[in-house]
Structure 1
């Protein structure tokens, strides 16, 4: 799935959450979407979480 399609789906989910649930639901969906995106990237790449969070110059070798 392309990045444009994923972005569109995320935008639609946030719009529905904001419309029907208010600003609190909007923030909750945005936060959980971010966590899900990070976890999905870690699973897809097989990356260690410490390597994911380390700055570019201090990555473990």
Structure 2
């Protein structure tokens, strides 16, 4: 099994436990916090830049560098 598959398995199991024991609200909370943690991790690793989220493009599909 690849590393990505193991991480996906653990995330799925975490969401399943949260949904089973805490209900749908806990499921949504865990999913939202996981997404925020993922975004912060990618930002800190340098894969994403802050400007990627707040880009104001002047044209259709064009990206200024």
Q: What is the number of equivalent residue pairs in this alignment? A: 59
Partner Cα separation in structure 2 for residue 2 and residue 49 of structure 1: 27
**Consecutive unaligned residues in structure 1, runs of 5 or more:** none
Q: How does 1:8-23 map to 2 (within 5 A)?
A: 8-23=9-24
Q: TM-score, normalised by structure 2?
A: 0.74
Q: Which has the larger radius of gyration?
A: 2
Deviation at 1:25, TM superposition (A): 0.1
Instruction: Give the number of the structure whose residues are more often helix, by fraction.
Output: 1
**Consecutive unaligned residues in structure 2, runs of 5 or more:** none
- Tell me the equivalent position of 1:4: 5
Q: Relative CO higher for 1 or 2, CA cutoff 8 Å, sep ≥ 6?
A: 1
